[in-house]
């Protein structure tokens, strides 16, 4: 008796915390194949994993050995990690390769994880930005160009190759146990920096809620771009206090001073080029995603920050 094979999905960034949550939710219905280039990651041993850089030539072999129904592209280098040239190579050129192979080998759907950073933190930003709001991040810093370029690339493939459904998700700050992005690292600190006199409102999403959003998006897979954010808001210094962090004030006047201070301190999680995100709010309107996919986050802000507070006990 032959058992019916489950459809295969390629998950990039498979060694990351978000991928773990996504894999857990999808493994009953799908065969999941992981790809990640990181050496120190906790791979799921019960599935096939490839440790390789998807911007390199050998990546095509993965497509030759499997028949992917879809791709869930979570493998991005965080904005505060590595230099911008390396980020560009992996996040933009690597993604282009991924798209090309996906088209070549008949992948039907692709989910791309973007970030709210693409909107750019600007004093003129209104609140509740919807998906059609211009992406200003490249104007703020060349360090953010790869994030915007990734989106432009996705938009081009969306139009040029309608046979593959491409869904881009722009989540707000994603945090929670095991997450290693800059916001999560800041909340883990006992003493965390903030800019004196600035209290930008932010949105936070638990990593498991984002995984659920990805699963919902994969099931429907429409072409399009969606903000993923809860209807809940808190200023950054208040978030630090909820996570039981001591506030480390960084002077904000004159405007050139915080740049100098941050350059001197060389905080990996609070780099100078992300400074404006700690000054001006970038609040997303998540209505479209909520209404299209029936998404409702399960973790409250209290649940999320309690985890970080308990870590410090």
Partner 1 sequence: MKWFTKLKDVVVPPEIEQLVDSMPHNLGSMGYDPWGYNPETAKVGLTVLKWMYDHYFRVEATGLENVPTNGRAFVIGNHSGQLPMDGTLIGTALATNPDGPRIPRAMIERFFPTVPFVYTFMTQCGATIGDPVNCIKMLENEEVVIVFPEGVRGSGKLYKERYELKRMGTGFVRIAIQTNSPIIPVGVVGCEETMPSFGNFKSLAKLIGTPYFPIAIPVILPAKVFLNFGEPIHLEGDPDNETQMMEKVDEVKEVLQELIDLGLEQRGERIFG
- Sequence-separated (6 or more) residues with CB below 8 Å from residue 60: 101
Does residue number 236 form part of the binding site for partner 1 (CB under 8 A)?
no
Stretch that binds partner 1, among 11-19, 75-83, 190-198, 209-217 (CB under 8 A): 190-198
Stretch that binds partner 1, among 84-92, 112-120, 182-190, 279-287 (CB under 8 A): 279-287
CB nearer to partner 1: give 106 or 126. 126
State the nearest-atom distance from the C-beta of 76 to partner 1, in Å: 26
Does residue number 196 form part of the binding site for partner 1 (CB under 8 A)?
yes
Does residue number 124 form part of the binding site for partner 1 (CB under 8 A)?
yes
- Pairing verdict, β 165-171 and 109-113: parallel
Please compute, for residue 60, the number of CA atoms within 13 A of its CA located in the half-sphere on the CB side: 8
Of the residues 231, 246, 260, 311, which one makes contact with partner 1 according to CB under 8 A: 231
Chain-centre distance for alpha carbon 176: 13
Q: What are phi and psi of 227, to 5 degrees?
A: -75, 140
Of the residues 142, 219, 253, 257, which one makes contact with partner 1 according to CB under 8 A: 253
**Residue 202, strand partner residues:** 234
The owner of tokens 């088209």 is: 103
Alpha-carbon span 129 to 125, nearest angstrom: 8
Q: What are the structure tokens assigned to 41, written together?
A: 């990651």
Query: Between vectors from CA 257 to CA 250 and to CA 144, what angle results, nearest 5°?
Result: 85
Does residue number 198 form part of the binding site for partner 1 (CB under 8 A)?
yes
State the nearest-atom distance from the C-beta of 60 to partner 1, in Å: 44
Alpha-carbon span 11 to 31, nearest angstrom: 10
Of the residues 126, 162, 177, 178, which one makes contact with partner 1 according to CB under 8 A: 126
Site string for partner 1, 281-310 (x = CB under 8 A): x-x-x--------------xxx--------
Does residue number 85 form part of the binding site for partner 1 (CB under 8 A)?
no
Q: What is the DSSP string of 136-154?
A: -HHHH-GGGHHHHHHHHHH
Site string for partner 1, 148-177 (x = CB under 8 A): ------------------------------
Stretch that binds partner 1, among 66-74, 98-106, 135-143, 193-201 (CB under 8 A): 193-201
- Sequence-separated (6 or more) residues with CB below 8 Å from residue 274: 79, 80, 117, 143, 182
Of the residues 96, 223, 241, 292, which one makes contact with partner 1 according to CB under 8 A: 241
The answer to whether 240 and 187 have CB atoms below 8 angstroms apart is yes
Q: How many chain residues bind partner 1 (CB under 8 A)?
A: 32
Stretch that binds partner 1, among 55-63, 75-83, 213-221, 249-257 (CB under 8 A): 249-257
Listed residue (263, 266, 246) closest to 193, CA to CA: 246
Residues near partner 1, by CB under 8 A: 123-124, 126-129, 133, 195-199, 201, 231-235, 238, 241-242, 252-253, 255, 279-281, 283, 285, 300-302
């Amino acid at each position: 008796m032959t058992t019916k094979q489950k459809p295969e999905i390629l998950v990039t960034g498979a060694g990351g915390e978000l991928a773990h949550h996504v894999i857990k939710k999808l493994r009953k219905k799908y065969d999941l194949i992981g790809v990640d280039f990181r050496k120190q990651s906790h791979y799921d041993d019960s599935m096939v994993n490839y440790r390789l850089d998807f911007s390199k030539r050998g990546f095509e072999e993965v497509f030759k050995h499997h028949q992917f129904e879809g791709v869930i592209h979570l493998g991005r280098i965080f904005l505060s990690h590595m230099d911008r040239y390396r980020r560009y190579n992996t996040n933009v050129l690597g993604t282009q390769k991924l798209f090309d192979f996906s088209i070549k080998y008949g992948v039907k759907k692709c989910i791309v994880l973007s970030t709210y950073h693409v909107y750019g933190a600007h004093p003129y930003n209104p609140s509740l930005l919807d998906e059609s709001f211009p992406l200003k991040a490249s104007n703020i810093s060349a360090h953010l160009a790869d994030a915007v370029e990734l989106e432009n690339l996705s938009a081009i493939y969306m139009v040029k190759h309608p046979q593959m459904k491409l869904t881009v998700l722009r989540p707000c700050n994603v945090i929670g146990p095991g997450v290693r992005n800059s916001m999560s690292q800041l909340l883990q600190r006992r003493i965390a920096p903030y800019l004196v006199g600035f209290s930008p409102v932010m949105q936070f999403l638990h990593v498991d809620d984002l995984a659920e959003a990805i699963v919902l998006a994969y099931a429907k897979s429409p072409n399009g771009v969606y903000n993923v954010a809860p209807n809940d808001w808190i200023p950054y210094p208040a978030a630090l206090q909820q996570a039981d962090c001591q506030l480390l004030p960084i002077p904000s006047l004159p405007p050139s001073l915080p740049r100098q201070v941050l350059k001197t301190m060389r905080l990996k999680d609070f780099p100078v080029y992300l400074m404006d995100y700690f000054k001006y709010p970038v609040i997303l309107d998540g209505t479209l995603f909520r209404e299209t996919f029936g998404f409702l986050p399960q973790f409250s802000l209290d649940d999320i920050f309690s985890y970080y507070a308990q870590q410090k006990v």
